[in-house]
Amino acid sequence: MKRILIIEDNEDNMYMLKFILEQNNLNVMMAFTGMEGFETAVKEKPDLILMDIQLPDINGLEVTRKIKQAASDGSEMKVIAVSSYAMTGDKQKAIDAGCTAYIEKPIDPETIMDEINRYL
């Protein structure tokens, strides 16, 4: 069973993502802060990480950089940025930080699994 780590501080978004992923037979791990997400990612080495960009302690792009640097296989760890930032250049900033892809909020429950399945 594929393992997904969600790093998201908004409880509503977290539980909606968790529900969708579990309905698709994925094992879900949750982290509500950047540091908790970093520690979980390095320890558990999930198949995919869904990374909120605006976190209360550390910006999600910085967490992504830290994961990529710290994990021995971090360069292979796939991170999808999930953000409400929709300004020009935000997607490129996420890619430059090491994210594999970028999904804009609000999350569309009808199409998010198509995006996620591309990277599993």
Q: What is the CATH number of the domain that holds 16?
A: 3.40.50.2300
| pLDDT for residue 77 | 86
The residues, any chain, with a CB within 8 Å of residue 32's CB and separated by 6 or more, are: 7, 8, 9, 11, 14
Q: In this structure, what token pair is assigned to residue 61?
A: 């792009």
Looking at the structure of the chain, the number of domains it has is: 1
At 65, the amino acid letter reads: R
What band does 84 get if pLDDT is binned at 50, 70 and 90? confident
| pLDDT for residue 96 | 94
Domain carrying residue 53:
3-117
Residue 47 has pLDDT above 90, yes or no: yes
Residue where the block lists tokens 């908790």: 36
Task: Name the average pLDDT for the chain.
Answer: 92
What band does 26 get if pLDDT is binned at 50, 70 and 90? very high
- Which pLDDT tens digit goes with each residue over 52-70? 999 999 999 999 999 988 8
Q: How far apart are CA 37 and CA 67, in angstroms?
A: 9
- Mean pLDDT for 76-84 is 90
Residue where the block lists tokens 């909606």: 16
Of the CA atoms within 13 Å of residue 116, those in its CB half-sphere come to 26
List Cα–Cα distances, 81 to 1, 5, 120, in angstroms.
22, 12, 15
pTM of the model: 0.93
Asked, as a colleague might, if the bond just before 106 is cis with ω within 30 of 0, I would say yes
Query: Any bridge partners for residue 31, and if so which?
Result: 7
What band does 85 get if pLDDT is binned at 50, 70 and 90? low
| pLDDT for residue 19 | 97
| pLDDT for residue 86 | 66
Strands 48-52, 27-31: pairing is unpaired
